[in-house]
Amino acid sequence: MKQFFQQTLKKIIFTFSIVLPLFPLLAQKTESPTSPVKRFFYMGDGSLLLQGQKILYRNLSGEYQEAGLKKIHQIFGANWQSKHERLSLRFIEMMDYLQDELQGGNYILRSGYRSPNNNQNLRNKGKLAAQSSMHIEGAAADLRLKNIPSAKVFEFVKALNCCGIGWYGSAHFHLDTGPTRYWGATTSKTEDKTPQQNSKIILQSDYDYYQAGEKIPLKFMRITQYPIGVPYQVTLVEVKNDSSQEKIRPLPLTFSSENTSQETCTILKNRSQARNISVQLPKELPSGNYALSVKFCNRYDYLQMPETISSRIFKVVQSK
Ligand SMILES: [Zn+2]
């Protein structure tokens, strides 16, 4: 009997010694460290060379690293403490993507994050700083990429059709993850001092990829005047391959607790309220490209503010 047990035990140990090493392989198949959850259309390798520092901000399993992100915030002069004021991950990934794709060296930063006050001070001094600058949204930088001429970066980003790129012929270029647009020395923007009246207002989701049923944090950006009236629901639209749009269904918006109004038109009074909104995707939503359409319910007297805007397109993928 004792011998039987010993043999069984040996068998069990033997079996495990063969099977156990296979588990990491099986685990790799479902969640390979080389192909982490994709959150953005353009992503780097998770390691950014910025101001002479090698910063790991995302690990190989796709988890964002607080220490690395804090370091980037520090270099950018951005506020990490207030969650809704943080730099855009889409922008950080975009910088990383360019560095990897163009095989560039270190990024040398001239201007990163600008608070609304900072930006206004620059404007008062007559500097080239747009009212609706993406620097204020934590999604822009003026910088150069060592070993790569800025002219090359300009052409490369322009062709991606994803972002904002500006280059005036100097060493530095401007990069942002706002709407697709580009400008050079000859198309330089001269902007007058009159308020823009939210003419460039945009809506962005934090990520580009979501799973059906997931909650999407949303931010209104490029607002130049408050307040604005936002309806309690937005319209989910599917964006087809030929870029035609089909209305799917209305989705209720969730606002920050500061907005206690139960009425159908929620008034966003400040930046913090405009950056603290979310929407829940339906669980049964098929894979595809989608956007959210917002019809503002109060535009006050901002004559140039659009009646309706569509968010940046995001992709819905099926949950595993
Ligand atoms: Zn800039």
191 C-alpha to ligand 1 centroid (Å): 14
What's CA 120's distance to the chain center, in Å? 24
Distance 112 CA to ligand 1 centre (A): 8
Whether the ω angle into residue 227 lies within 30 degrees of 0, i.e. cis, is yes
Interval 81-93 mean pLDDT: 95
Mean pLDDT computed over 248-263: 82
Residue pair 186/205 in contact (Cβ under 8 Å)? The answer is no
Contact 86, 113 (CB under 8 A): no
State the distance from the centre of ligand 1 to the C-alpha of 309, rounded, in angstroms: 24
pLDDT band of 149, cuts 50, 70, 90: very high
Cα 34 → chain centroid: 22
Q: Could you tell me the pLDDT band of residue 19, with boundaries at 50, 70 and 90? A: very low
CA of 220 to the centre of ligand 1 (A): 19
241: three-class secondary structure by DSSP: coil
Separation of 91 CA from ligand 1 center, angstroms? Answer: 13
The residue from 136, 158, 184 where one domain ends is 184
Cα 44 to ligand 1 centre (Å): 21
* Total domain count, the chain: 2
Residue 188 has pLDDT above 60, yes or no: no
Cα gap 179→170, rounded to integer Å: 23
CATH code of the domain covering residue 300:
2.60.40.1930
Q: Distance from the CA of 254 to the center of ligand 1, in angstroms?
A: 32
Q: Are residues 132 and 214 in the same domain?
A: no
pLDDT value of residue 15 = 45
Contact 265, 230 (CB under 8 A): yes
Q: Place 22 in a pLDDT band, splitting at 50, 70 and 90.
A: very low
Band (pLDDT 50/70/90 cuts) for residue 260 is low
Quote the ligand 1 centre to 47 CA distance (angstroms). 23
Q: For residue 46, give Cα distances in angstroms to 40, 68, 205, 208.
A: 12, 10, 20, 16
Asked whether residue 14 is domain-assigned, the answer is no
Structure tokens at 30: 């479902």
Select from 204, 206, 190, 215 the least CA-distant residue to 278.
215
What pLDDT digit, counting tens, does each position of 37-62 carry?
Answer: 799 999 999 999 999 999 999 998 99
The β-bridge partners of 182 are 165
Structural domain harbouring 51: 47-184
The pLDDT, as a whole number, for residue 126 is 85
CA of 106 to the centre of ligand 1 (A): 18
CATH number at residue 77: 3.30.1380.10
Q: Strand, helix or coil at 15?
A: helix
Expressed in angstroms and rounded, the spacing between residue 285 Cα and the centre of ligand 1 is 38
62 Cα: distance to centroid of ligand 1 (angstroms): 29
- Output the CA 172–ligand 1 centroid distance in Å: 9
C-alpha 131 to ligand 1 mean position (Å) = 12
166 and 279 in a single domain? The answer is no
Name the pTM for this structure.
Answer: 0.86
Whole-number percent of the chain with pLDDT over 90? 72
Across the range 100-119, mean pLDDT stands at: 94
For residue 136, the CA-to-ligand 1 centroid distance in Å is 10
| Centre of ligand 1 from the C-alpha of residue 165, in Å | 9
Q: Are residues 212 and 130 in the same domain?
A: no
pLDDT at site 192: 61
**How many angstroms does the Cα of residue 135 sit away from the middle of ligand 1?**
6
- Cα angle value 207/82/84 (rounded, 5°): 30
**What is residue 127's predicted lDDT score, i.e. its pLDDT?**
83
**151 domain residue, yes or no:** yes
Is the domain of 274 the same as that of 230? yes
Residues 294, 317: Cα–Cα separation, whole Å: 23
